[in-house]
Structure 1
Amino acid sequence: MAHSSSDKNEDFPYWLVALSVLATGFAVYAYVSDIYGQVFAIVAKGIGITMFVTLVGFSLASALGLLLAVASLSRFLAIRQIARFYIEVVRGLPILVLLLYIAFVATPLLVAIINAIIEPLGLGEMKTRDFPLIWRAIVALTIGYSAFIAEVFRAGIQAVDKGQIEAAKALGMNGWLRFRLIVFPQALRTILPPLGNDFVAMIKDSSLVSVLGVADITQLGKVYAAGSFRFFETYNVVAFIYLTMTVSLSLALRKFERKTRIEER
């Protein structure tokens, strides 16, 4: 059925036009303003750290999430229950609480356990400070997001037609071959959109690493604002940078999703 002109008008992204106009106006003003230029030059140094934390954390979380999803679908009851326990507990914790717990509880505990093993062997003593805060933050984000990503993978795997799996069994494929050649490629089409949303969400949640003093966008903004009292200008720049990254990525993901649907047809 052909769409009416009113439907097309409703689908037109007026919000994106408005946002683009505001962003362009702000960018031009920031470019000609000495104060905003100085703020941007300082805060932008944290973009590399923000992207590093996000990319590494999301990659590790995706790998762990896939393992958890497969474990939660295992034919063994014990493995299923262990995976379910992990997923439910981690999903019930706020990311900020998990971040603080990993940084200041789990890390010292791990160091104590390692020292209890290596000291009797005469291998020296490990210090808690030997674990950089940025890696504690990455581990926390990995653990936190792996539980949500596991559910995304599980839903995608379960959406694959059971008849194709049975046909693969009839052809003599073992479990690994069925998963690699039949299940996962088809599940990936279902998984990609929500997985992309989780990646965008992690970019935003990466700002929480600033509570550990990691020099990301938010932390550099906090330090500059506290020293210069330019809170208005600083947090305008911080918000602008995050919006630019997340909205651009969201639009790219939507375009990719539409392209994928067209190819499937």
Structure 2
Amino acid sequence: MSHVGHMNEERIKQAKEILAKDDRVVPKFWQEKYRREAPRNWDLFYKRNTTNFFRDRHWTEREFEELARENCSNEKELKLLEVGCGVGNFIWPLLEAHPRLKIYACDFSPRAINFVRENEKYDERRCHAFVCDITSDQLVDTIEPQSIDLVSMIFVLSALPPEKMRDAVLNVCKVLRPGGKVMFRDYGQYDAAQLRFKPGHKLEDSLYVRQDGTMAYYFTVEYLRELFVGHAGLVELENEYVYRTVTNAKRNLSFDRVFVQARFQRPTQD
């Protein structure tokens, strides 16, 4: 069950108490190592899991009106950039549903990009997958500035440390056309996954490292607004928490998944 709104006040109180108990921060040497080796750790993630970890994301059309069939069925070709494409779980349902959609897909894991290119659904006439670190100025090497209609950032920015997020957002905005939109979904503050981290996994407030060395950041809508509106100059169309209560009947447990979902638009006149 998913809904937009507010988490139960009692659960917020419990979440704050859990996070307050974790005052151990990963030593500086290891913090720097995890930041430096982020691309390598994600590449190893895809080596271990290949294409079996994530399911295809058929829900994106329902959550983002820009991807609804009626809005992608006109005669004009739409260009979409999928940032952090992984092995293509976002790409394949969209290519099938929207014959006039051209997708650029990037990831900083070479192994993930190889999986995309090797997929039988990969069509070079409609999809171009390439390795890219969006925190550096590499996007414009492949994509013409101000040429993309839609950018999707689905569970990708959370893999970066906060000090690199600003550069990533600015680089994405360079290829977004005036009037173009960013579609965003990622982990939200007090998500059950954040509360499950044991002491010793915290790099800084809201930023954690998993057992496999990959990082996870948990967003507030305020910080998201600061990144996309205050820093990048986009217009906020939507920016809210989405809650999903997950129940384990066998163990008689329920917990809250918390996400942030947002849409931002580049002004027609900068």
TM-score by length of 1: 0.25
Structure of higher CA gyration radius: 1
Q: Greater relative contact order: 1 or 2 (C-alpha under 8 angstroms, separation 6 or more)?
A: 1
